[in-house]
């Protein structure tokens, strides 16, 4: 999986094409319920379960991909 796949997850769940790798999920209208959907999609697609705190610290596709890549080491 690639960082582009993380962007795709954000775009699908936020229902917008406005997502870039460094876009802030919450600035794009995301909320805690949608964040849980993103975390579920990450767990399903990447095989890594991130915590909501990870999301709050790095609320961008790029930031969460970095967390996933770090978890796989």
pTM of the model: 0.91
Nearest to 14 by CA among 66, 60, 63, 62: 60
**Would you kindly state where each structural domain of the chain is located, as residue ranges?**
3-71
Question: Is domain 3-71 in CATH 1.20.1440.20, yes or no?
Answer: no
Q: Report how far Cα 25 is from the mean position of its chain's Cα atoms.
A: 8
pLDDT in tens, the chain (73 residues): 778 999 999 999 999 999 999 999 999 999 999 999 999 999 999 999 999 999 999 999 999 999 998 876 5
């Amino acid at each position: 999986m690639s960082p582009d796949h993380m962007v795709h997850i954000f775009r699908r769940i936020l229902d917008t094409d406005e997502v870039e790798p460094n876009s802030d999920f919450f600035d794009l209208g995301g909320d805690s319920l949608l964040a849980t959907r993103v975390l579920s999609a990450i767990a399903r697609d990447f095989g890594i379960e991130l915590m909501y705190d990870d999301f709050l610290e790095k609320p961008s596709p790029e930031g969460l991909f970095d967390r996933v890549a770090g978890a796989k080491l």
